[in-house]
Structure 1
């Protein structure tokens, strides 16, 4: 559960934030002054800080500077009233993640906090490279021992300590962001910010201002200055995901950044020097895009100083068994289960698949099969069902599932634990609720209807199980 620290001298505002963020599944802490906020960061590092700029004692700007000394990668969102935006902008230039204006737009504030939490995770969650033991694998790991993966590990090790621009190539879902994060985490800039910009997810009209910022009056609605992500990441690393889809005019500005190490905000004339390392990724054929005039040739050569290629799963079938065991260990831990293992027949079946898809698809298949697993090793029918393939024998599958459930109950009965019945009912109920929420995209009202429960009853069970709702609750579900 991500932890958010709220720093503000306004007691009512702190309480409002605590209720709002707790309802979204965050662990919330609060501090009433900049000094108390600094102490809170020292005591237990939060994932994100949301802090006012004007407080008794030291200012939010001074508090941010002290927090940055403790942890330069800590995302800090500055809160400000309209009359104090200059201070917030100054904090952003120093590296603060972003700022929000009072009064708050709640959905926009939640989206910003979600993004900051994701940024914190990108910077701090270690990516294990070449991890083969599923029991000791990190939450994020690049798994495989095939020759192609061994070459990739060597290339990461050689490229990471340099400041060379890196281009990561591979199909969608192969793990390009993991490669980029591994390069960052093994670089000399690992203690500096790492910001991810998805060139497809951000509309073209907003991408340029997101990257380079703007000055007041640069366009309709530009009521003040905004610092861009590249300027904000000074001395750190910027990961440009799906750069092959970046519009040509913005490509020209990225080229200038790589050549001259400076940027200009939209509507501004000041040349701002920056020191950032660029890591880019794409699933497109850039050579073909250059021939078609869709991608600048000069930028292409600037980007491919070092090229790292993530091979698709179908080209490394020998890694499938390692990946299945890794995903089982990871997802079982996430679900609060014991890793059930996988039967030889299921593993053989998964390894024999043509896998036109990706590592992400394999992980999804394993997770689907695990959700309704009842403690026995993952079987062939569970895997077939997860892949949407017909079962060998429906009656036989039901009999096997019943036998697996019986084995689980007998094993638990032998443990001699107290409250065994309630524990088993809670375990099964938690699985059913998680699946219903997943099926409805996190909409608790629809999940309750699907399960034949009242909404208050469902909420009470979620609270009882301590279950975190990963999916964003839809506005209609408020």
Structure 2
């Protein structure tokens, strides 16, 4: 489950964001300044850090490299009431993934967070898979249908797959099943039952991100 850290000296805003994040199923911690946020980063893994710019002691811009040195994979979203091009450029140069201008709408915040989480999910998939080969294999709509069908049903036999596809040409279905098996996305056991492999689960995660981005 994704984990979020909110670092802001405004206690009311921290509480509001924490409540919204948790209602969306995101584990959320908060800190009132960069120093306390850094301590939490040393003890916990965070996917997203929401970081205010203007805070007592250390400001958010200066905190970015310290946060990333502690957790390089955390994605930092800067929150600022003084949005200027210079502030945005400086934040991005130091490693921020995005920034929001206060006051922002909660819906805007959630869209930004979910987009960054989906982008990271795709990058994680790409690091583990030969993404060019995977996308080439899954470019065929019948193969995408097959792998989604098996995933939804957990296990399927050949005739169950052909009926669900509505394809009477068994040779064609066999060909696409063979491609998926050779790519190690599905396997067939001794009882002729197909199921998704761990590698198949990963390619499904990548496909999910791509399909969501195409439909948005």
Name the TM tier (shorter chain).
0.5 to 0.7
Work out the CA distance in 2 between the residues paired with 1:52 and 1:85.
Answer: 16
Segments of structure 1 that go 5 or more residues without pairing to the other structure are 130-141, 143-155, 157-167, 177-309, 314-354, 371-376, 391-470, 472-478
Matched, 1:114 2:81: no
Work out the CA distance in 1 between the residues paired with 2:84 and 2:137.
Answer: 50
TM-score computed with the length of structure 2 as normaliser = 0.65
Work out the CA distance in 2 between the residues paired with 1:57 and 1:84.
Answer: 22
Matched, 1:362 2:140: no
Shift of 1:380: 5.1
Summarize the alignment of residues 266-305 of structure 1 with structure 2, pairs less than 5 Å apart: none
Shift of 1:82: 2.9
Matched, 1:76 2:47: no
Work out the CA distance in 2 between the residues paired with 1:75 and 1:312.
Answer: 29
Partner residue of 1:34? 34
Question: Residue 109 and residue 99 in structure 1: after superposition, are their counterparts in 2 closer, same or farther (change >3 A)?
Answer: same
Segments of structure 2 that go 5 or more residues without pairing to the other structure are 169-211
Shift of 1:356: 5.9
Summarize the alignment of residues 428-439 of structure 1 with structure 2, pairs less than 5 Å apart: none
Partner residue of 2:57? 57
Give SS of 2:6's match: strand
More helix by percentage: 2
Question: Residue 106 and residue 20 in structure 1: after superposition, are their counterparts in 2 closer, same or farther (change >3 A)?
Answer: same
Equivalent residues of 1:53, 1:61 under 8 A apart: yes
TM-score computed with the length of structure 1 as normaliser = 0.32
Shift of 1:66: 0.1
Give SS of 1:56's match: coil
Work out the CA distance in 2 between the residues paired with 1:46 and 1:363.
Answer: 32
Work out the CA distance in 1 between the residues paired with 2:137 and 2:151.
Answer: 22
Summarize the alignment of residues 11-22 of structure 1 with structure 2, pairs less than 5 Å apart: 11-22=11-22
Equivalent residues of 1:366, 1:386 under 8 A apart: no
Equivalent residues of 1:34, 1:63 under 8 A apart: yes
1:383 to 150, 161, 165: 161
Summarize the alignment of residues 274-353 of structure 1 with structure 2, pairs less than 5 Å apart: 310-311=136-137
Shift of 1:99: 0.7
Higher RCO structure (Cα 8 Å, ≥6 apart): 2
Partner residue of 2:201? none
Work out the CA distance in 1 between the residues paired with 2:167 and 2:15.
Answer: 50
Shift of 1:127: 4.2
Work out the CA distance in 1 between the residues paired with 2:48 and 2:82.
Answer: 23
Question: Aligned pair count?
Answer: 169
Quick check: which has more Rg, 1 or 2?
1
Work out the CA distance in 2 between the residues paired with 1:367 and 1:311.
Answer: 17
Equivalent residues of 1:369, 1:382 under 8 A apart: no
